[in-house]
Structure 1
Amino acid sequence: MQASLITKKHHKTMFAIALPMVVSNIAAPLLGLVDTAIIGHLPDAIYLSAVALGAMVVSFIYLLAVFLRMSTTGLIAQAFGAQDIKAQRQVFFDGALFALVLGLGVLALSPFLLPLVWHVVEASGPLQELTARYIQIRFWGAPAAMLTLVMLGVLLGLQKARHAMILVIATNAINVVGDVVLIIGLDMNVTGAALATVLAEWVSAGLGLYFVAQHLGLRRKDFPKASLSRLRAMFQLNRDIFIRSILLHACMALMTIWASYQGQLYVAANAVLLQFLTLISLGLDGVAYSAEALIGESKGKKDSQAGRVWLRVCLFWSGVFAVAYALVFALFGSAIIQLITDIPEVIATARVYLPWVVLLPLLAHWSYLFDGVFIGVSASTAMRNTMATAAFCVYLPVLWLSQELGNHGLWLALSCFMLARGVAQAWVLKRRQLLQFA
């Protein structure tokens, strides 16, 4: 493929998807800060602790369900490329049914979840009671939250990133308004915080359904019948992405657990530095979303050349973002650390390990991008296997062998893990010719 095939229009198309998602990635945490600030101004700190702890539990479960968004995006993008509106409706219907069953399952199993939480988290009697109340209320929004993930997948697959952005921002904005009314206006503290979020989730699910119905021209007669074979295929696709996500989060959690043996100061310093990964994801996720939609569309069109062009375009911008992040962290990393914490010991310790964070975008951006490529072509098994290879064959051995290096060993293991993911994905991409669409 020749570079002349790439035009200014390709870059504009890529950014038309990436930029709205970058904006939504930035806006959601900012609105979340407002949400936290409202709770934080209540007279007793126990309310903030209960909401923070409860939100962590619920968010962890919802984060594991992100496979609903990922699998839907790839399948919709392929059907969009093939201009098969019937297939698009089938994917949405199957994904929505799967999400509803999963959401209702989470709601039904919630009474059994709380005892597990108290085994992992230490909480006093009053804090435990308030946290339990928050979690129990929040899970009534689980079906809506799961459905919204599917609808985000549909919108991204159809390259309607602006509507996806509106959906993400609307969820957070409605939550903030609900907090003002229920917490400040009606003095409902933790209960109000939970109800505001549940309300936001259901309203957003309705808004998402409106957007999807518009783009897919949905009417009641258009809904396909449920198919066991289709649901089985979707289960397999989602299962592989779920396992991949579990492995990723387990590796990140293990880094914190391992650091705890070195002392609380290292846990705190690493927690600060891991916030840089959140900053990295703001830009790299946007490029990955573009790769999902555009390469998925190419597969649907069976246009291998277009797939390779989109890979080059997305790879170029992924590299640009990576270099930019590395430069920003090198020049302003110390200042960013001081924005996150004002504890002198933590700042001094974090600065020692800052060079690893400067290097990280250059090593990690490949895996972000290739995740998007693999989702676009629905290569979920390859995603799972490359993640497992990086985790078990690279991350764990390096973590074990570098114990004498202390905290530097943890960052070495994480860096090798990120690089290994990208290398494994690149090898599979070429070996299996995943961009060769017959």
Structure 2
Amino acid sequence: MLGQAAIPLVGVVDAAVIGRTGTAADLAGVALGASVISMVFWAFGFLRMGMSGMAAQALGRGDRDESRALLLRGLLLGFALGGGLLALSVPLQQAAFALLAGEPEVTRQAGHYATARFLGAPAALATYALTGWLIGLGRTRPALVLQLVLNLVNAAASIALVWGLGLGPFGAGLGTAIADWLALGVGLLLAGHVLGESLPATWRRLAPGTLTDRTALARIIRVNADIMARTLALLAMFTWFTNAGARLGAVELAANHVLLQFIAMAAFVLDAFAFTAESHVGQAVGARDHAAFRRAVRLTAEFSAVAGLMLALAFLALGQPLVALIATDPGVRAEAARMLPFAAAVPLLGMPSWLLDGVFIGATQGRALRNAAVAATLAYLALDLALRPYANLGAWSAFAASYLLRAGALSAHWPTLVRSLR
């Protein structure tokens, strides 16, 4: 939970340094740029999610060689895909900003932020795979260290580049890119500590052909392709919501971005229980232990419900002071305060969907994740279009309801999951 709570601080720090030194257009630009980065980077979130389920199942089977091979495959794949993103960053930005309805100045600042963030793409995607491997093995302390390094370096670099050198949104993005590379270096050292040997030594230890085993590669492709489709569907949902704010104006876009930092905090904290479910469900599936599966789901659900309630109450009590800390623009503060009850409700509404994600990821049920995400996204888009006459109120109503849609769609696949374990 500590490691997960540290993750959204990247976005909070970027929003705070811009919100307290720049204009509403600067903050809206960071919001739009961050949305583009999320849309592009998290299209490859399967590197983390697919890795955790497969690593946990390898641990449950006692297959140490496959566990080592999974790490190396994930790192190589993440670095290669990240390099491709960096090479294609210009056309990717052009396509993304053509889809998002930002004002000219907002789009210009968003481009500065996104350009800098793409410099860290290879490191960020390789770190996704490394983090997933650690979570799958239940090695949460190294994962915590990795996140703390990322966030501390990002905070220091962003403050120095934005407040110190006045580089604005570009400086905020560059600070995060620098943090991505340093975090990857630390992560590789942590992986060596977990393995008990250096990564080159692990490479030499594997039998010839292990990394290129066709059966293993086919499974990785199958699971990750489904999870990628699921992630793209959910990213479309978040991008649509961001675009709703951009369509209404810079003030609404900036205010929604501030509140999304609260939701990110809730999502990452509650994802701690989902990641625990990934690890324990994956190990139970690998060992074919139905009793361990039921226990993992029950315990993580109970803790998630309590944590979701506590977060909702905390957002209601502390939301307005936190908004004032992040943003100085009076219009942004007023609009964020008006929409705060919706953001406070999300930890409770979203808890079942986040937990079920963890359960199905641990069981590597990629097809169910894909189908549920596509169905929920289509239903959300229809609801948002129906509520457009209510402006930002309608946008937030549809967005809050999307979490219930996701949970309902995944619940429909629950009987099939239980039968597969038996």
TM-score, with structure 2 as normaliser = 0.81
1:140 to partner: Cα distance: 4.8
1:300-319 matched pairs, under 5 angstroms: 300-319=286-305
Structure 1 counterpart of 2:220, from 234, 245, 248: 234
| Cα 1:432/1:41, change in 2 over 3 Å | closer
Q: Does 1:77 pair with 2:77?
A: no
Q: Which residue of 1 aligns with 2:373?
A: 387
Q: Contact conserved, 2:281 with 2:363, CA < 8 A, in 1?
A: yes
1:353-368 matched pairs, under 5 angstroms: 353-368=339-354
The amino acid that maps onto 2:377 is A
1:101 to partner: Cα distance: 2.4
Q: Which residue of 2 aligns with 1:100?
A: 79
Instruction: Look up the SS of the partner of 1:231 in the other structure.
Output: helix
Q: Does 1:296 pair with 2:282?
A: yes
The amino acid that maps onto 2:89 is S
Structure 2 counterpart of 1:432, from 408, 417, 422: 417
Q: Contact conserved, 1:47 with 1:189, CA < 8 A, in 2?
A: no
Structure 2 distance, partners of 1:140, 1:333, is 33
Amino-acid identity (%) = 31
Q: Which residue of 1 aligns with 2:272?
A: 286
The amino acid that maps onto 1:360 is V
Q: Which residue of 2 aligns with 1:24?
A: 6
Instruction: Look up the SS of the partner of 2:88 in the other structure.
Output: helix
| Cα 1:51/1:157, change in 2 over 3 Å | same
Q: Which residue of 2 aligns with 1:205?
A: 184
1:178 to partner: Cα distance: 5.9
1:432 to partner: Cα distance: 3.4
Larger displacement relative to structure 2 (357-366 or 108-117): 108-117
Structure 1 counterpart of 2:43, from 56, 64, 69: 64
The amino acid that maps onto 2:205 is D
Structure 1 counterpart of 2:89, from 97, 107, 110: 110
| Cα 1:288/1:107, change in 2 over 3 Å | same
| Cα 1:279/1:52, change in 2 over 3 Å | closer
The amino acid that maps onto 1:164 is A
Q: Contact conserved, 2:30 with 2:113, CA < 8 A, in 1?
A: yes
The amino acid that maps onto 1:202 is W
| Cα 1:424/1:164, change in 2 over 3 Å | same
Q: Which residue of 1 aligns with 2:401?
A: 416
The amino acid that maps onto 1:108 is A
Instruction: Give a deviation string over 1:97-123, Cα, whole Å, max 9, x none.
Output: 321321222233235335436645666
1:222 to partner: Cα distance: 2.3
1:250 to partner: Cα distance: 1.7
Q: Which residue of 2 aligns with 1:15?
A: none
Q: Which residue of 2 aligns with 1:13?
A: none
1:213 to partner: Cα distance: 2.8
Structure 1 distance, partners of 2:118, 2:396, is 36
Q: Which residue of 2 aligns with 1:371?
A: 357
Structure 2 distance, partners of 1:405, 1:188, is 38
Q: Which residue of 2 aligns with 1:214?
A: 193
Which stretches in structure 1 are left out of the alignment for 5+ residues? Answer: 1-18
| Cα 1:89/1:427, change in 2 over 3 Å | same
Q: Which residue of 1 aligns with 2:125?
A: 146
Structure 2 distance, partners of 1:209, 1:279, is 26
Structure 2 distance, partners of 1:174, 1:269, is 26
Instruction: Look up the SS of the partner of 2:418 in the other structure.
Output: coil
Structure 1 distance, partners of 2:247, 2:117, is 34
Structure 2 distance, partners of 1:337, 1:291, is 32
Which stretches in structure 2 are left out of the alignment for 5+ residues? Answer: none
Structure 2 distance, partners of 1:437, 1:302, is 7
Structure 1 distance, partners of 2:189, 2:406, is 38
The amino acid that maps onto 1:222 is R
Q: Contact conserved, 2:28 with 2:254, CA < 8 A, in 1?
A: no
Structure 2 distance, partners of 1:261, 1:136, is 23
The amino acid that maps onto 1:362 is L
Q: Does 1:321 pair with 2:307?
A: yes
Larger displacement relative to structure 2 (193-202 or 86-95): 193-202
1:161 to partner: Cα distance: 0.9
1:419 to partner: Cα distance: 0.7
Q: Contact conserved, 2:277 with 2:300, CA < 8 A, in 1?
A: yes
Q: Contact conserved, 2:78 with 2:125, CA < 8 A, in 1?
A: yes
TM-score, with structure 1 as normaliser = 0.78
| Cα 1:93/1:316, change in 2 over 3 Å | same
1:126-275 matched pairs, under 5 angstroms: 139-175=118-154, 198-217=177-196, 219=201, 220-223=203-206, 224-259=210-245, 266-275=252-261
Larger displacement relative to structure 2 (323-332 or 98-107): 323-332
| Cα 1:274/1:379, change in 2 over 3 Å | same
Q: Which residue of 2 aligns with 1:396?
A: 381
Structure 2 distance, partners of 1:383, 1:168, is 26
1:1-20 matched pairs, under 5 angstroms: 19-20=1-2
Q: Which residue of 2 aligns with 1:5?
A: none
Instruction: Give a deviation string over 1:355-381, Cα, whole Å, max 9, x none.
Output: 433433222110011111111111111
